[in-house]
């Protein structure tokens, strides 16, 4: 079956080559290391994620606005005995204009323009679940942006829950140094085909106001709120509305940065340990954010010291960070390292009647 799909995709791409203006290859190799030392905390346990991801794709572009792209995402977890631990089809249509854009299919999460808090997506989630399966539309100018996306994260089947997320984001800058915006995540965590009456809703809205300026260092300060509405329909207890406030401070120079996030408020993950009708806890299936936002000690402080920079026209990106996390009771450690290299050459440009390297 897989072989038939591959042959069909290749045949489709070759059939489009006669009408395409440009044939291009888009590939990325990314290595990610995430070591968490959280044993003894109320939000998780120690574990290490160390993997490499390869995403080769081939695409056709025409009229300078439209593209059709097909390829695969392959991930190898270091230490695993398998040749490939995860394989996924990548296939999407893309529209790009001066201010407007749209994607439909399975496409990289990097194509989203919204700014989503770690309470919505943790660093490891962004790497492991690196593609959106659905549609996204956005507007972006020098001073403002807006986005609407639907990500179908789970299939309705005996093995998996039906799950989809709606993302809305928007914002803009004003008065030279200031900016404001908001992000909204609506997750519908539904049933397996063999189990009914176990739907959970998880809504998070994150309005924020911030300022960016330079004084030898580049500074970014942001004050925001994390407001949630959550309901486990199986319990019939109605809506829970945990919420809190967050202050983020970042300063950097030459790629070296210090970033501090202080969250004060309720646990944003009240159903994390709830056992569903399938006998499994909701856990990370319901909550894709950093587990520390589920602390019951009313305070979560994250301090990161590291290096982050892009090279070679932004095609090579490096990030290394030492993180100290305080859950209001004890201090915990985390280390993050990410290296990615992308290449996107045009193989054939019909408009200029030439092949390119």
CA distance 153 to 285: 10
- Counted domains in the chain: 1
Biggest CA-to-CA distance, the chain: 66
Full residue range of the structural domain in which residue 334 is found: 2-355
24 contacts 344 by C-beta, under 8 angstroms: yes
192 contacts 160 by C-beta, under 8 angstroms: yes
228 contacts 244 by C-beta, under 8 angstroms: no
For the chain (length 357 residues), average pLDDT per consecutive 10?
54 52 86 87 79 93 90 94 94 94 96 94 92 96 95 92 96 94 96 91 97 95 97 89 97 96 96 90 93 92 96 90 90 93 68 49
CA distance 357 to 354: 10
pLDDT of residue 43: 73
CA 144 to chain centre: 21
CA distance 291 to 116: 15
pLDDT of residue 355: 46
In the three-class reduction of DSSP (H, G, I as helix; E, B as strand; rest coil), residue 121 is classed as coil
For residue 128, what is the domain's CATH number? 2.40.160
pLDDT of residue 64: 84
In the three-class reduction of DSSP (H, G, I as helix; E, B as strand; rest coil), residue 275 is classed as strand
Contact residues for 33 (Cβ-Cβ < 8 A; gap 6+): 48, 49, 50, 335, 336, 337, 338
pLDDT of residue 38: 78
CA distance 197 to 277: 8
Closest CA to 185 of 238, 226, 232: 226
């Amino acid at each position: 079956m897989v072989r038939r799909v591959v042959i069909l995709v290749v045949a489709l791409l070759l059939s489009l080559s006669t009408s395409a203006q440009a044939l291009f290859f888009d590939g990325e190799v990314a290595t990610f290391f995430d070591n968490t030392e959280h044993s003894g905390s109320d939000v998780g346990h120690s574990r290490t994620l160390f993997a490499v991801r390869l995403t080769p794709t081939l695409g056709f572009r025409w009229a300078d606005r439209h593209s059709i792209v097909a390829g695969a995402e392959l991930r190898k977890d270091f230490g695993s005995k398998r040749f490939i631990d995860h394989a996924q089809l990548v296939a999407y249509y893309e529209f790009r204009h001066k201010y407007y854009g749209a994607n439909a299919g399975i496409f990289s999460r990097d194509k989203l323009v919204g700014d989503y808090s770690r309470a919505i997506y943790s660093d490891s989630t962004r790497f492991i679940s690196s593609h959106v399966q659905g549609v996204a539309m956005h507007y972006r100018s020098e001073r403002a942006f807006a986005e609407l996306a639907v990500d179908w994260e789970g299939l309705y089947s005996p093995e998996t829950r039906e799950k989809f997320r709606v993302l809305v984001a928007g914002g803009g800058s004003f008065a030279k140094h200031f900016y404001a915006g908001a992000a909204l995540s609506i997750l519908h965590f539904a049933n397996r085909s063999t189990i009914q009456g176990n739907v959970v809703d998880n809504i998070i809205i994150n309005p924020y106001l911030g300022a960016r300026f330079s004084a030898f260092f580049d500074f970014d300060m942001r004050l925001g709120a994390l407001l949630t509405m959550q309901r486990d329909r199986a319990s019939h207890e109605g809506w829970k509305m945990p919420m809190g406030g967050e202050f983020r401070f970042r300063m950097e120079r030459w790629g070296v940065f210090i970033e501090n996030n202080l969250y004060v408020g309720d646990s944003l993950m009240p159903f994390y340990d709830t056992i569903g009708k399938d006998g499994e806890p909701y856990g990370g299936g319901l909550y894709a954010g950093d587990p520390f936002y589920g602390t019951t000690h009313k305070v979560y402080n994250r301090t990161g010291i590291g290096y982050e920079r892009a090279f070679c026209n932004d095609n090579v990106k490096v990030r290394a960070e030492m993180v100290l996390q305080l859950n209001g009771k004890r201090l915990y450690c985390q280390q993050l390292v990410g290296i990615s290299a992308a290449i996107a050459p045009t193989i054939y440009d019909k408009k200029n009647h030439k092949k390119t390297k």
